[in-house]
Amino acid sequence: MLVNIEMPAVEGCEAQDCAYNHDLSCHARGITIGDLKHPGCDTFTPAGQHTHETKRIAGVGACKVVACRYNDDLECEADSIRVGRSGNAIICKTFDKR
């Protein structure tokens, strides 16, 4: 069974060393962002080998950062997000503190 739901798209991702990244785009089915305080990409998987699926664009399946203004009941309500680096961390660059 396939479930189709609307999710904010991951517009771009700077984490080129992630297994889901191909040409600065995320190709996971869906990603999870953060913990209660930090907007890290929980789906980031460092790997030398990358996914072969390049037609699918990832969506944000869940956001656990309750301090983000786009978070509504642990769901992201932004139109889309961007993922990038902050030091050694891979984060949601769309995060905007309430």
The tokens describing 45, both together, are: 């998987």
Q: How would you classify the pairing of strands 75-76 and 80-86?
A: unpaired
Q: Could you tell me the pLDDT band of residue 58, with boundaries at 50, 70 and 90?
A: very high
First-to-last alpha carbon distance for the chain, in angstroms, is 37
Rounded-to-integer distance, Cα 39 and Cα 22, Å: 22
Q: What is the pLDDT of residues 77-88, one digit of tens each?
A: 999 999 999 999
Q: What is the pTM of this model?
A: 0.90
